[in-house]
Structures are given as C-alpha cells and as structure tokens.
Structure 1
Amino acid sequence: MSAQKSEYLTFWLGKEYYGIDILTVQEIRTYDQVTAIVNMPDYIKGVMNLRGVVIPIVDMRLKFNLPDVSYHEMTVVIILNIDSRIVGIVVDSVADVVLFETNEIQPPPEFASALETKFIKGLATHNDLMLVLINIQKLMNSSEMALFDQISDDPAGQNAQ
C-alpha cells in the first residue's frame, strides 16, 4: 500500500519557512494597498476588492509576532478559499510547491511558540530547511482570528425571527 501524499505551497516570513495545503490556495497576487477597517486587530490589514468580492487581508508576520514587518517587491497575497470563504494572507515571498508523503511529516513539538502548536499540522524537511506546515483552515476559522465568526449562514437575513 502506498503512502498518502499531500502538496504544500511553501512561503517565507522573515527567515522562517512555512507551508500550507495547496488545496486551500485559490491564487497568488502581488501585494497591493488594502483598505483599512477601524477597530480590527493589527494583523488584519483591512480588505481588498477581488473581482467584486470584498475579502479580509491578514498579515501573517503580524499574526505570528515576527519582527521587521516590511513590504517589498516580493511581498505577495495568497488568496485562500477555506470552507467557501475567501481570505488573503500577506507573506514575504512564495517559494515552491512541495509534495510530502504522510510519513515525512513529523508531529508538532510540545512547546509554546509564536504560532501556537494547535495550528501546526507538522514539521518536514525540504532542501535541508525545516518547514512548518500550518493547518491554515484551523487558524483562519479560529475564534481568535475574528474573521468569520460574524458571517452568517444566512447572509441576506431571510430567516431572521
């Protein structure tokens, strides 16, 4: 029986190397100015109009409390489709798409870190670099992100009582 394989889009945040499930990625765009929304956490940069759909933009460097947040020509927004909801994440640069077999992914360590281990799917090695595989669905749907908890399943309010 062959091992199950999964593809991950890898990206950089500062000197750290991360990966997310490629199946959540809708597209990759150059970073453009976003429209700020008042009273949002600092890691939610604002919103962007993506072909008529307004989507929240999360700066992953700010979310993970990484230093020296700066935007340059390599900065990109990865547009994600998570549970039929669209969100963008800002990363320093995209690296590659990597295929891992399940047995190549180690469980997350048991320690406190900038990225809580409950959002880490596992760790893997690629090109002699340690890659942190993020459970992006769990992170984006978490109550602490405050992204989707106000979105109703009934957006028109048709079933309001």
Structure 2
Amino acid sequence: PLVPDPDIKIRDPMLHYTIVRPEAPNSDDFPVFANEEVVKPERRSRYELHLPYTIVLRLGWGGAKGMVYFFVSQPISHNRCRGYCIIGRNYDLEQPDTVLQAFEDTIFGQDQRIVESQRPEQVPFDLADELHLRFDAVAINYRRAMQQQGLDYYHYLDVVE
C-alpha cells in the first residue's frame, strides 16, 4: 500500500507528523501489534523528532491499546553512533519480551546492510545535493531544522576540531 504524505509540523526544536496507513496483520512468528480483532487494521503512527538525536513514535490502532518507541542516537565519534531503543506497550503484558526483541532484531537486521552501505556516510545537509521527492519530506525538514539549530554535521566538525 502507498504511504500517505505526512503533514509535518515544526515546533522548535521538534518535528511532528502523523501517518495513518493500512496495517499488516500479525504473523505467527511475531504477534506484536494490537490489531487482532480488526478486520482491516489501520495503524496511526505519531512521530516526534526531538532535535538532535531522539525520536518518540506512538502507535495506535483506534482503541485503547498502544505502543511507544523511544529511539536515541548517541554520537561516539565523527562517523559512528550508538543507537538505543526502548519499547513500551499497554497490552499483551504476559507475552515474553523475547517475542518483541526477535521482531525488532528482524526489522533492524533487514535495514542494517542498507544503512551501513549508504554513501555519503554523513547526512547531506546541502539540500541542493539531492532529489526532492515527496517521500523525502520528513528527511528534508529534519535536516533543515538541524541546520537552523546549528546541529548539522558541518557545525559539529567545527566544534570537535
């Protein structure tokens, strides 16, 4: 399914956007989403990007059940960072943590090779350097907000060196 264009709101130093899209059904391997009773499940994903390196993602399916992801990236050198992910939910509390951990390991594992092989390694902050496609709206607004706050890679180099 096509992901709708996000409506991005910028409230310094934070970006907000929400995407509502059809949800994939739970699988036997990874029954992690709160959509088991819904015939055509729909997921509402509310993102908060707290500059410079934190994302809060709230997932909901139209009822009381919800899930929260808290992602933090910690720069540890000029070209490396360490990532942290904390997940909370108010349903399936008896389910072993290993089920959700295995699901996230699968998702992150699928992305790892792509992320680690992207070039250039540093996020391009010169917006003229790349195509402006509709699905890039969040990334473009994030980089623009980082520049406005003096948090882009080039400012970082000036501070470190």
TM-score by length of 2: 0.28
Considering fraction of residues, name the structure with more strand: 1
Considering fraction of residues, name the structure with more helix: 2
TM-score by length of 1: 0.28
Structure number, greater radius of gyration = 2
